[in-house]
Amino acid sequence: MKESAIILLAHLNPLTNAHEQIILSLSKYHNVYVLPVIFLKRGMEITTRSFPFPYRIRKAMIESIFHDTNVVVLPNYSFESPFLKYFPPLISPYSWSLRKKILEDVKENRFNSYTGDAIERLMLRIFLMHPTQAKRLDISASTVKESLYLEAATNKSRRFKIENDWERMVPSKVASIIKDNWMIVEQFANSHDQTIKIMGMKFPKDGLYS
């Protein structure tokens, strides 16, 4: 058992090769808590074109690679509608309640948080989450999603018969999970993005106010 922890707050929608390398690198020296963000409305998870895969599938993606390791996946990074109640940060008591929920299963006294986004890093510093310096991912989940949607919309007849661009950007076990849940990709392939960015972070429009 390592003495310090790293908390990774991220969308991981889906998990990419870059995510895998980051988690692998962090886990060499720390216990790693991976908290994929969840958006809830009346207890039901909201998914959109930007956030197509629900928590249970993202958890399966991570655990398919990091099972039996010091990497733990937790559902504690969850926003409950109306999402505007978390703003403005610091002033809103809901934002501090979220911080408490994020940390409630972290057993180590020493911890840092990790993000590749400059705005998120600033917010983590404000909330005393001790963010580490990090670079943006070479391969983003957004790039993978657009490749997935392009295939679903234009290449149905040849699907999975050849290696596609997105398959080279995710671990092979994650690619298998995506294929097993291909109906989700097809569901959002021709949809509009129903999200809005607030202080550098995307939120679903559904559940923003109520």
The gap from C-alpha 199 to its chain's centroid, in whole angstroms, comes to: 17
**Does 155 score more than 80 pLDDT?**
no
Across the range 1-23, mean pLDDT stands at 92
pLDDT tens track for 160-203:
555 578 999 999 999 999 999 999 999 999 999 999 999 888 99
pLDDT tens for 83-140 read 999 999 989 999 999 999 999 999 999 999 998 777 888 889 999 999 987 666 667 8
Domains for the chain: give ranges and CATH numbers: 1-210 (3.40.50.620)
pTM of the complete model: 0.93
Question: Within 10 A of 63 (CB to CB), how many other CB atoms are there?
Answer: 16
Task: State the helix-helix crossing angle for 172-180 and 55-66, rounded to 10 degrees.
Answer: 150
Indicate if the pLDDT at residue 159 is higher than 60.
no
CB count within 10 Å of CB 120 equals: 20
